[in-house]
Amino acid sequence: MDLIADLRTDAAALLRDGRAKLVIGYRAGGAGDAARRAPVFVSDPARVDVLVYDASCRQNLASYLRKPEVRSRAPVAVVAPPPVMRSLVLLAAESQITDATVVVLGVGEGVYHGVLDIAQTAALLREKYADLAPSAEVVREIERIAAMTAEERAAFWTARFARCTRCYACRAACPLCYCTRCIVEKNVPQWISSAAAGHGNYAWNIVRAFHLAGRCTLCGACEAACPQGIPIMLLNVLAAEEAARDFDARPGYDPAEKPVIGSFKPDDNDDFIR
Amino acid sequence: MTEPERQLAEPSAAFEPRLVALVCTWCTYAGADLAGTSRLPYAPNVRIIQFPCTGRIDPLLVLKAFEGGADGVLVSGCHPGDCHYTSGNYHARRRWAIVRRLLEFTGIDSRRLYFSWVSAAEGRKFADLVNEITQAVRAAGPFEPANPARRRPWT
């Protein structure tokens, strides 16, 4: 209970002092179900009592920061569990947010970390959450699929991508998919077919995962948002593992880090190149 | 009857792979040119597409090749340190490392997708490489119907 009381007190203080014009947090309820958690936008210090936080708060609230109607309300305070903190540090590394536009309200499992700036958030992550790992279940599933033949893998993914309706909920849920014009909407030339079928679905899902390689902080918001139950995290974790192994990528721990794709080392691994 | 006409008139019953080579103009394209001017015979299965630099070769181009029905794709450019634009091949190398893993995981494995460094002086290496890859893809067989990226009519 302390966690929530402290969170509400700090949120109210931020709004009252003008250190934040808007607090993005979680509230109880949503779709008529009190057990669910939904995002809430608070701009009145008298209304901070709607804010809650617990383990059911899964949505990545950092995804709202790119929206013009939110940007225009800067500075914005964001309730951030550890994966969201990582997203925020990465957004800072990519020059999308600064201390002048975003304040972090750090929360963890049963703990409240207080009002943080970006450097403090990164320090906290390195100190307390340095070993955030993908779920063992996802890692096991990746191993299972990797052990299949190429034909079996193709069949596995063709069946899953066939369900994709190209609603782009995965993109909307992701704080790191912030391009104002996504590659999938560029149609001169049409790189990725926009029809919700075969080759277009394959290209979209692969390219989405590729654009997040070395950037994805594994918050899982895309997979949770997918109405068709496509196991998107398998691709994200696979690309993240590769980026970590070959390029020492640890996205979201250092606001001064260089982009993984977009930088290089002369001695990068090239044992796969003839 | 010219050779292309003969091929059209008498299609071979055996499977002949279709390969697409995405190459940079400064090294591998010049290397392929050298193979040609040196009269080195190599498999005619490859369609060479010239790019200014491997740094320009977006992974989408690889996907497009498979979408259009390629049985195998080769991406090739300048050796590390030789890039005409200093660092295009280094940037490309990082992308390839990720993309090949994603494609392998989703059904386009290393029998279908190849990467190489071929310099302008390596006409022999280019010819040998194309022969070798053609042989490997021929052994792997037609990519249809397993190709997950193939363009198909919307049903």
Mutate to test the interface with A, among B94, B99, B115, B134 (most CBs of A within 10 A): B94
Q: With CB atoms and an 8 Å threshold, state whether A207 touches B63.
A: yes
Residues of A in contact with B99 (CB under 8 A): 210
Residue B3 pLDDT > 70 = no
pLDDT, position A29: 86
How close A164 comes to chain B (CA, Å)? 14
pLDDT tens, residue by residue, B89-103: 999 999 999 999 999
Q: What is the DSSP letter of A44?
A: -
Q: Which amino acid is at B142?
A: P
pLDDT tens, residue by residue, A149-179: 999 999 999 999 999 999 999 999 999 999 9
Domain boundaries, chain B: 17-140
Percent of chain B with pLDDT over 90: 86
Out of A192, A202, A209, name the one closest to residue B148 (CB): A202
pLDDT tens, residue by residue, B50-94: 999 999 999 999 999 999 999 999 999 999 999 999 999 999 999
pLDDT tens, residue by residue, B126-149: 999 999 999 999 999 999 999 999
**Looking at this predicted complex, what is its ipTM?**
0.91
How close A57 comes to chain B (CA, Å)? 30
pLDDT, position A1: 54
Q: With CB atoms and an 8 Å threshold, state whether A238 touches B67.
A: no
Query: How many A-B residue pairs are in contact by the CB < 8 A criterion?
Result: 131
Residues of A in contact with B114 (CB under 8 A): 274
- Indicate the pTM of the whole model: 0.91
How close A26 comes to chain B (CA, Å)? 34
Q: With CB atoms and an 8 Å threshold, state whether A195 touches B154.
A: yes
Parallel, antiparallel, or unpaired: how do β-strands B113-117 and B46-51 relate?
A: unpaired
pLDDT-derived band of residue B4, with 50, 70 and 90 as boundaries? Answer: low
Residue B7 pLDDT > 70 = no
pLDDT, position A197: 83
Residues of A in contact with B94 (CB under 8 A): 246-247, 260-261, 263-264, 268
For residue B37, is it left (φ>0), alpha (ψ between -120 and 50) or beta?
alpha
Q: Which two tokens stand for residue B4?
A: 């292309």
pLDDT tens, residue by residue, B16-55: 999 999 999 999 999 999 999 999 999 999 999 999 999 9
Is the Cβ–Cβ distance between B70 and B133 less than 8 Å? no
* Ranges under pLDDT 50 in chain A: none
Q: What are the DSSP calls for A52-109, one per residue?
A: E--TT--S-GGGGGGSHHHHTT-SEEEEE-HHHHHHHHHHHHTTS--TTTEEEEEEET
pLDDT, position A153: 96
Mean of pLDDT over chain B: 92
Is the Cβ–Cβ distance between B80 and A270 less than 8 Å? yes
pLDDT, position B11: 61
Fold of B17-140: Rossmann fold (3.40.50)
Residue B12 pLDDT > 70 = no
